[in-house]
Amino acid sequence: MTLEVLAAFAARTCLVLLFLPFSALDKVLNFSAAVGQAGQATASRPLAKALILAGLFVEVTMSAGVLTGIADRFAAFVLAGYCAVTALLWKPFWRKPDFRLRGPSQGRETFWDFLKNFAVAGGFLALAWGGPSQQGVAAFLHDPFGSTHPYGQTTSETGR
């Protein structure tokens, strides 16, 4: 294994570590509490359960895609959207009556969590779209289920 492969795996692991295993495992072990939290976004308990199950599916399957490199652009794109949606649904700092810059403030703490969600989303978008050397957004739009081949060359690159 080369240093580049180890670095790519380490970076991808850091990106998904929040979701797989920790958030996914928390949803499994504390399903009722997770449904209760989802109830903040909807008054329907069946819909809250569906949201948690959908979140669990996204966290496990898309994280696995990012880690393995299988359809990793698509998986990263979905996880970016997931981060944005969860920020908007569960980190509504604008609803906190005590948002202030100095002293104790639940609103400010929620604001930082909101921004962290978008920072992680940015990391996933960078993975999904790549840089200019990877043709960026155009490559994603051309083949959204393609792989960035993070752990080695493709057969077309090696000539085999």
Residue 97 lies in a domain: yes
Looking at the predicted structure, is the pLDDT value of residue 133 above 70? no
Residue 159 lies in a domain: no
User: Residue 20's domain spans which residues?
Assistant: 3-149
Peptide bond into 21 cis (omega under 30): yes
**Among 110, 118, 28, which residue's Cα sits nearest to residue 126?**
118
- What is the reported pTM? 0.86
Residue 157 lies in a domain: no
Residue 52's pLDDT band, with cuts at 50, 70 and 90, is: very high
Average pLDDT, the chain: 89
Exposure string (b/e) for 93-104, b if CB count within 10 Å is 16 or more?
A: beeeeeeeeeee
Spatial distance between the Cα atoms of 124 and 129, rounded to a whole number of angstroms: 9
Q: How many domains does the chain have?
A: 1
CB atoms within 10 A of CB 32: 9
State pLDDT tens for residues 54-103.
999 999 999 999 999 999 999 999 999 999 999 998 899 999 888 887 88
Residue 160 lies in a domain: no
Residue 36's pLDDT band, with cuts at 50, 70 and 90, is: very high
Residue 46 lies in a domain: yes
Instruction: Please give the pLDDT value at position 1.
Output: 67
Residue 107 lies in a domain: yes
Residue 72 lies in a domain: yes
Residue 155 lies in a domain: no
